[in-house]
Structure 1
Amino acid sequence: MSDVDREEACEPAPVPGHMSADLAGYRWMRDRVGQSGGSVFRLHGKLNGPDAFLKHGQDALADDLSDEMVRLRWLAGYISVPALISFTRTSDEAWLVTTAIPGKTAYQVLEADPAAGLAIVDALAVFLRRLHAIPVCACPFTSDHVYSLARARERLDAGLVDVEDFDDERKGWTAEQVWEEMHRLLPFAPDVVVTHGDFSLDNLSILDGEVTGCIDVGKAGIADRYQDLAIMWNCLGDFDRSLQERFLRQYGVVDVDWQRLQFHLMLDEFF
């Protein structure tokens, strides 16, 4: 998907009255990637105003935005994340406005310049090691596989799992088939760290060959390190297998635990 396809110009979305003045003067672009039913807008072009992003969600998605807001505040003390501009929550809706991180997504950079792949992968590995080095004892959020399995089951039972979006290895599978196959990979001994939770190419920004920060941190918390390794490994497979191998090696994985990697890939199918 090209940059043009990933977003489109749009009219300003309805926001609570007290937010209108702060958002006046911006040009709006709707993001067409991700957010599972929520809305994401890039706000730019305001005189003397920073580029920003607005996320809006209802019901469970409003809860997700609340989770992201508190994690942004906490992570800002350790790594580069968007700065919080404003957050508004009602009983069933939420609006989150943050600054834009400089650069383009790692996906955009790799798509535009495949020759930069090795350098970009190395930078991603360095950033992930820095994230995983945050002291677990300082993290107030739990996102381990036991917690995630409970959420996955809730989504499966509610019919919220998009089977059409399964990875190629599981095309044509039902959600129950993935659930059963995933459980055949249990138990395993997790190696817990502070994880991002959705460490994908779309959620990392790159400028001049360096990672300038990460976005979409609503799932951040203590979990098995393969939660992050598996998602990035999967993303890099869209470009070149050698990049997958390079990423794991540069991160510091000597012997790949394929059982844990595959478990987390299957778990991700439910979100």
Structure 2
Amino acid sequence: MHLTIAQFINGAVLQRDEVGESPCEVHSFYRGEELYFLKTSPAIYQATTYSVLREAAVLRWLAGKVNVPEVVLTAQDAQGEYMITRAVPGVPLAERIGDAPALFAQALRQMQSIDIADCPFDSSAAMRLRELEFLLNEGLIDEDYDLSDWPGLHTPQDLLAHLHATMPDEDLVFSHGDLGDSNIFVTDTDELYFIDLGRGGKADRWLDIAFIHRNLREEVNDATAARFLAALGQPDAAAKRRFFEQLDELF
């Protein structure tokens, strides 16, 4: 562990957080009465959206625009990258799943209202496909991928080729990049806090919508997911939603 990180933790007990599927490790710890999180990413992911230094930069840029964790400390060494953040208040939206459509709609509005005129973070489809090619070449894709929902796509290489062939024209907004019910925290007064923003940046507006729709479909039901889409007040872009779900399959 990097010396400055170890000095801040100062011997506190690290509790592993098992939520999430990324190659990053997350541990919580207490310093006095205050709860913190240590997130680390292996060095090989430095040029990807798994980089915790990229996430720290996104969080710092977002501070004051929406509620995100405070970045307390970052560091880097030959083994990887390190970030310590303060815990955010509230509970995961997953614990308020009955209120999910309205809370997701609020989260989406907050994300897409962020001015991207000076946003330095590229999370476009082209960038993400370059990232996916790197992960494939390095043998770093998610080993639990399941292509059974996509007829005619049998291998990760098939999927990559298909994604290149179907890459949409993009209507860029600020995108969380992984806007699911474990990455949004809700307080008792329905104030929202956003975590896990490594993929945050300029991307098509339907990326976050696709993830929300999938989340509601899987955790509530198809009818609730359909109502969420209908309430957006714009025509459904089913091809874009499918593209972004397919893109996520290997991450």
When normalised by structure 1's length, the TM-score is 0.82
Residue 158 of structure 2, aligned match among 167, 173, 177? 177
Q: Percent identity of the aligned residues?
A: 26
Q: Does 1:213 align with 2:193?
A: yes
Matches of residues 98-113 of structure 1 in structure 2 within 5 Å?
A: 98-110=85-97
Question: What are the Cα deviations for residues 183-232 of structure 1, in whole angstroms up to 9, with x where unaligned?
Answer: 4434x321110111111221111222624211111111111011111112
Q: Does 1:55 align with 2:55?
A: no
Whichever structure has more helix as a proportion of its residues is: 1
The aligned counterpart of 1:144 is: 124
Question: What are the Cα deviations for residues 67-115 of structure 1, in whole angstroms up to 9, with x where unaligned?
Answer: 01111100113100000111111244211000111122122433xxxxx
Matches of residues 47-126 of structure 1 in structure 2 within 5 Å?
A: 47-48=32-33, 50-62=34-46, 64-110=51-97, 116=98, 119-126=99-106
8 Å contact kept, 2:123–2:199: yes
Question: Which 4+ residue blocks in structure 1 deviate beyond 4 angstroms?
Answer: none
Quote how far apart the aligned CAs of 1:66 are. 1.0
Where in structure 1 are there 5+ consecutive unaligned residues? Answer: 1-14, 111-115
Q: Distance in 2 between matches of 1:32 and 1:104?
A: 16
Matches of residues 7-18 of structure 1 in structure 2 within 5 Å?
A: 15-18=1-4
Cα distance change on mapping 1:167 and 1:105 into 2, 3 Å: farther
Question: What are the Cα deviations for residues 9-32 of structure 1, in whole angstroms up to 9, with x where unaligned?
Answer: xxxxxx333333432374432112
Residue 38 of structure 1, aligned match among 17, 24, 29? 24
8 Å contact kept, 2:104–2:212: no
The aligned counterpart of 2:223 is: 242
The aligned counterpart of 2:242 is: 262
Cα distance change on mapping 1:148 and 1:22 into 2, 3 Å: same
8 Å contact kept, 2:107–2:192: no
The aligned counterpart of 1:158 is: 138
Q: Distance in 1 between matches of 2:192 and 2:226?
A: 23
When normalised by structure 2's length, the TM-score is 0.88
Quote how far apart the aligned CAs of 1:170 are. 4.3
8 Å contact kept, 1:135–1:194: yes
Quote how far apart the aligned CAs of 1:173 are. 3.1
Cα distance change on mapping 1:162 and 1:170 into 2, 3 Å: farther
Q: Distance in 2 between matches of 1:228 and 1:198?
A: 7
Whichever residue aligns with residue 264 of structure 1, its letter is: F
Q: Distance in 1 between matches of 2:69 and 2:109?
A: 19
Q: Distance in 2 between matches of 1:84 and 1:198?
A: 19
Q: Distance in 1 between matches of 2:105 and 2:244?
A: 18
Q: Does 1:228 align with 2:228?
A: no
Quote how far apart the aligned CAs of 1:163 are. 4.7
Cα distance change on mapping 1:242 and 1:209 into 2, 3 Å: farther
Whichever residue aligns with residue 99 of structure 1, its letter is: R
Q: Distance in 1 between matches of 2:78 and 2:14?
A: 26
Whichever residue aligns with residue 32 of structure 1, its letter is: E
Cα distance change on mapping 1:122 and 1:209 into 2, 3 Å: farther
Report the count of equivalent residues. Answer: 246
